[in-house]
Amino acid sequence: SSEVLEAIENVIQGVLESLAQKKAPVLTVANRTDWRNIEFKESVGLQMIPRYTTKQIRSDCPQSAPRFALMLKILSMIYKMVQSNTYATKRDIYYSDTLLFGSQSTVDNIINDISCMLKIPRRSLHVLSTTKGFVAGNLSYTEEDGTKVNCSCSTTVCIIKQEHLNSKDLISHAKFMLIVEKDATFQRLLDDDFFSKVSPCIMITGRGVPDLNTRLFIRKLWDSFQIPIFTLMDADPHGVEIMCVYKYGSVSMSFEAHRLTVPSIKWLGLLPSDLKRLNISKDALIPFTKQDQNKLASIQKRPYIACQPLWRKELEIMAASKLKAEIQVLTSLSQDYLSRVYLPNKLQFGGWV
């Protein structure tokens, strides 16, 4: 906490020194979303280059002055929280003055800018994510307050919280981890008691685009157990995008890549090539929208696709067909096809890329 306080004090000192010299104070932040500031490293994923370009948030420019003021406001809130050892979610910060902040995304962006500018992980700023991830399966651990948590009862779903990142005594006999894109599929696999029928495993869902806690937790489990991690996504550009976030990280959080990514993650399904192999009726597939085409074209150009020839092939199949499918399409074969046939066969015969 003293490191965080000192970092904020240094920023404020810079502002005061500028004012003392009758100069307009300026905050310098990284261009986090600029691909020119990002490099791809197979062992880490997308990470920010050491000599990244920056942008200035000036206090004397009508376009950036409001953002300058908001950054100072949030810095002061963080400073008070660290001093008093209290925490707030990004949502709490936004609702403390909705009129001032304008939108939740403004708050989210500023907090990420501050984290990157101070070179301090967001959780150390005492700002919590509103968590939405779930975990179930062969896993137990002890929370900080001594509470023992067991995720292995078929009905038990544990919400992934900030405090789980500090939990001790992680115990698991799982043979693999399965990251499931959507909550509906996750719940279906729970109902089918999938994680104890096939072989012991840990199932996780970020319920769509994963929040920070879910990504940190998967990384913690990977560091602890070093077991294979598979993803189960829709066969569409959005599902591929989400899988890439888990595996290689995102451009906007590339400054924290080494804590968030797991480059060993494998794509288990739903593969575009599976649709033909399983004779899925074309009537059950969904035509691409213009947005889908643009998203897929953007993914195909990314640096990590070049080192994944099998992924590239799957994306080419998707691009050629201009059709997408949700995991639920497998119910057209039989209601429990996913848990009874599809996943066991894939896991047994190595049907991943």
Contacts of 31 (CB under 8 A, 6+ apart): 37, 52, 53, 54, 55
In the block, which residue shows the tokens 């261009």?
Answer: 31
> CA 352 to CA 271: how far, in whole Å?
8
- Which residue blocks in the chain are alpha helix, DSSP H? 2-20, 65-84, 90-95, 98-101, 104-118, 183-191, 194-197, 212-225, 237-248, 257-260, 272-277, 290-300, 309-321, 337, 343-349
CA 223 – CA 212 distance, rounded (Å)? 17
Q: What is the DSSP letter of 207?
A: S
**Nearest-angstrom CA–CA distance, 324 and 158:** 31
Q: What φ, ψ does residue 162 adopt, rounded to 5°?
A: -55, -40
Does the active-site annotation cover 95? yes
Out of 95, 246, 304, 342, which one is annotated catalytic? 95
d(CA 159, CA 83) in angstroms, rounded, equals 28
Contact 328, 182 (CB under 8 A): no
Contact partners, residue 92, CB within 8 Å, separation at least 6: none
Pairing mode of beta strands 229-232, 176-180: parallel
Instruction: List for the chain the helix, strand, coil content (%; round to 5).
Output: 50, 20, 30
- Which residues are part of the catalytic machinery? 95
